[in-house]
């Protein structure tokens, strides 16, 4: 548990300007090799202090160029090498293993859904686990409980776009009940990384997004940019769900806590780059830790 700023009542409301001024963390920022420098400048301008870039490459020469582009004094940036379902997963996973740490932190499998399960690459993912290399699974927007459960069983420690995990809930007059898989994801703090505005259209307004419910139920969630900056993504949550400093801090804390960086580096970023900015909103007479009382939830088999 981390000490959390106890926000003074007069600072509960937010504006885009305040959000833009806050330090931010993003873990699921997809880039092309040629755009790394420009993306890092844009993220730095948005006050992102730590990022893990998703990069689809399969050759060492490409990786060497990408690593050189990371050497920016503006932002702490690392790489997660990604391969699409149907792509050369074995080659990319091997490239990660050969270059693992301190800048290449893990692997990502993208394009997973109910028809293209992560377990298709059980051998490659098992090899990553044997080498203690963390990996995430990026689920398609239509991926349902079958694909989510399969990704978890393969050992994914972060899930991109796993919002349909709510289909593993049941509801009755006593409240919301988590089934075994969704309870596992919540209790093991497997990160659900999402860009809420990315899937917004006439049939799927932002107000229907399950992020607030998932947070209320105790799931570990982070937000990354969709079609705009991270500040504007967070501002959309402010406008739609009345998110304040507390909710924004929770998302930031979940992101840095679930980054693939070593624990001592995560603690340093939190202590020196994130917490000081939030302390300015603190009520000095009150002190607490992150958390509080959770909604009453039961689990069923």
Place of tokens 């920016």: 72
State the number of CA atoms in the 13 A half-sphere of 176 facing the CB.
Answer: 15
Residue 193 has pLDDT above 70, yes or no: yes
Q: Residue 8 pLDDT > 70, yes or no?
A: no
Q: What is the mean pLDDT of residues 22-37?
A: 94
- Would the pLDDT of 292 be above 50? no
Residue 288 has pLDDT above 50, yes or no: no
Burial 23-36 (b: 16+ CB within 10 A, else e): bbbbbbbbbeeeeb
Q: pLDDT digits over 124-141, tens only?
A: 999 999 999 999 999 987
Report whether 147 contacts 117 (CB < 8 A). yes
In degrees and rounded to multiples of 5, residue 74 shows phi and psi of: -85, -25
Beta strands in 85-162 (DSSP E): 104-112, 135-139, 158-160
Domain assignment present for residue 139? The answer is yes
Q: Regarding predicted confidence, which is higher, 191 or 4?
A: 191
- Asked, for residue 162, whether it belongs to a domain, the answer is yes
Residue 300 forms part of a structural domain: no
Report cis status (omega within 30 of 0) of the bond before 102: yes
- Judge whether 235 lies within some domain: yes
pLDDT score of 72: 77
pLDDT for residue 299 is more than 60: no
Domain assignment of residue 247, yes or no: yes
Domain that holds residue 86: 3-295
Average pLDDT, the chain: 91
> Residue 14 — pLDDT band, cuts 50, 70, 90?
confident
Predicted confidence (pLDDT) at residue 178 exceeds the cutoff of 90: yes
Q: In this prediction, what percent of the chain has a pLDDT beyond 90? A: 80
Q: Which of 147-151, 171-175, 235-239, 284-288 has the lowest average pLDDT?
A: 284-288
Report which of residues 31 and 299 the model is more confident about: 31
pLDDT higher than 60, residue 53: yes
Q: How confident is the model at residue 16 (pLDDT cuts 50, 70, 90)?
A: very high
Terminal C-alpha separation, the chain: 29
Q: Is 297 a residue whose pLDDT tops 80?
A: no
Give domain status of residue 301, yes or no: no
Give domain status of residue 213, yes or no.
yes
Residues 255-266 pLDDT 10s:
999 999 999 999
Q: How far apart are CA 247 and CA 295, in angstroms?
A: 16
Per-residue pLDDT at 289 exceeds 60: no
Q: Domains in the chain: how many in total? A: 1
Q: Longest Cα pair distance anywhere in the chain, in angstroms?
A: 59
Position 290 pLDDT exceeds 50: no
Going by the DSSP 8-state scheme, the letter that residue 1 receives in this structure is -
In a domain, 34, yes or no: yes
Sort strands 169-172 and 288-289 into parallel, antiparallel or unpaired.
unpaired
Is-contact 18 10, C-beta < 8 A? no
Orientation angle between helical segments 230-241 and 245-257, nearest 10 degrees: 140
**Residue 148: predicted pLDDT:** 97
- Domain CATH number, residue 33: 3.20.20.140
- Whether the per-residue pLDDT at 294 is higher than 60: the answer is no
Are the CB atoms for 219 and 192 separated by under 8 Å?
Answer: yes
> Average pLDDT, stretch 243-264?
97
Nearest in space to 134 (alpha carbons), one of 175, 104, 164: 104
**pLDDT for 200:** 81
Q: Which residues contact 23 (CB under 8 A, 6 or more apart)?
A: 47, 48, 49, 252, 273, 274, 277
Residue 128: HSE in the Cβ half-sphere, 13 Å Cα cutoff: 30
The pLDDT of residue 11: 57
Tokens of 19: 């959000």
Q: Which residue has the higher pLDDT, 9 or 108?
A: 108
Q: Report the DSSP beta bridge partners of residue 82.
A: 108
The region of weakest confidence among 143-147, 148-152, 282-286 is: 282-286
């Amino acid at each position: 548990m981390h000490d959390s700023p106890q926000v003074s009542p007069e600072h509960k409301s937010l504006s885009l300007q305040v959000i833009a001024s806050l330090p931010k963390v993003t873990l699921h920022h997809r880039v092309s090799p040629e755009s790394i420098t420009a993306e890092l400048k844009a993220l730095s301008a948005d006050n992102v202090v730590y990022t893990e870039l998703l990069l689809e490459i399969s050759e060492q020469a490409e990786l060497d160029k990408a690593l050189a582009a990371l050497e920016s004094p503006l932002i702490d940036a690392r790489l997660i090498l990604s391969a699409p379902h149907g792509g050369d997963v074995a080659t990319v996973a091997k490239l990660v293993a050969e270059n693992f740490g301190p800048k290449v932190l893990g692997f990502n499998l993208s394009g997973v859904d109910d028809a293209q399960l992560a377990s298709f690459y059980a051998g490659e993912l098992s090899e990553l686990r044997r080498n203690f290399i963390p990996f995430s699974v990026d689920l398609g927007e239509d991926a349902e409980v079958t694909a989510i459960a399969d990704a978890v069983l393969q050992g994914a420690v972060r899930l991109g776009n796993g919002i349909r995990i709510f289909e593993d809930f049941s509801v009755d007059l006593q409240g919301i009940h988590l089934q075994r898989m969704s309870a596992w994801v919540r209790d093991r703090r497997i990160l659900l990384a999402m860009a809420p505005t990315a899937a917004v259209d006439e049939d799927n307004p932002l107000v229907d997004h399950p992020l607030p419910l998932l947070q209320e139920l105790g799931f570990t969630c982070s937000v990354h940019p969709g079609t705009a900056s991270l500040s504007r993504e967070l501002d959309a949550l402010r406008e739609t769900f009345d998110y304040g400093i507390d909710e924004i801090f929770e998302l930031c804390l979940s992101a840095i806590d679930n980054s693939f960086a070593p624990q001592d580096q995560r603690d340093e970023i939190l202590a020196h780059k994130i917490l000081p900015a939030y302390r300015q909103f603190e009520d000095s007479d009150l002190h607490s830790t992150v958390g509080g009382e959770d909604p009453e939830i039961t689990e069923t088999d």
